[in-house]
Structure 1
């Protein structure tokens, strides 16, 4: 099965620590993650930003005054997926550290997550939609050789 065609613009804002994020996000890695998550051809911009820019975008476009890990601005789904994915480097790094996972692994998850949003997937509409999106993310990440990011939350809890 041929993967979808992808036109990719990968951008890094200027911020302290950007070198670590550039190292975790080689262009080929980003393209591979996105192409696996896409069901059709796409033109995507991926921008890695600092907390200030991430917070401003989240506040101005979603009405939420904090920096979040990934924002997806989807412009078209047919005949071509067109979207901007904005990843907030300090948030992604803090989450990766908290989850004790490599930065690149967490970026892979968020790139897939953002690409699914660009195609209309939404985890905030219902529990069923959230479960479907998580299952698709897990499937795509497995194809990339990445672990299931939701494995911890699905483990049965011990009584007591």
Structure 2
């Protein structure tokens, strides 16, 4: 069976960090918390640096600056109305899992944010992987009601992993 998270390492610091293990744990917890099976889904996560994510951010969002995480859902899954839970996908068979999409995460920005928040890098990366996965599943934070739904969902998932709510200051 294919792994849930296909990891592409473009910055070797991610390899030393153990991105694959952190990402798999985060995605497993998120899918389970949403009532979805872990088997039957796949996604690709690229660990890169600020230079590469700035290029991606410019190309896809028109913002030529680094960011912490970007996501590209394989299909539109957003809810019809703001504040509603998105239409969650069905798992595919073991030999043809449903591809949820792609995520890119930047080492430099993640490290700077973790340091600024005085939190472990693994905790911050876990949060950002959950955040990216929720985007792949149709969650968003453009509208205030969607942001509340997404943030409370993230906090609930992170709590199951023993992590504090990243939105409480």
TM-score (norm 1): 0.82
Structure 1 stretches lacking a partner, 5+ long: 153-160
> How big is each residue's C-alpha offset from its partner over 1:87-144, in whole Å with a ceiling of 9 and x where there is no partner?
01100010101111111010000000000000000001x1111011000000000111
Moved over 4 A (4+): none
- Further displaced range: 60-69 or 30-39: 30-39
CA contact (8 A) 2:22 2:125 kept: no
The number of residues matched between the two structures is: 143
Aligned to 1:53: 52
Aligned to 1:158: none
Deviation at 1:26, TM superposition (A): 4.5
Aligned to 2:118: 100
Q: Which one scores higher on RCO, CA 8 angstroms, separation ≥ 6?
A: 2
TM-score (norm 2): 0.78
CA contact (8 A) 1:47 1:86 kept: yes
Indicate the RMSD between aligned Cα atoms, in angstroms.
1.8
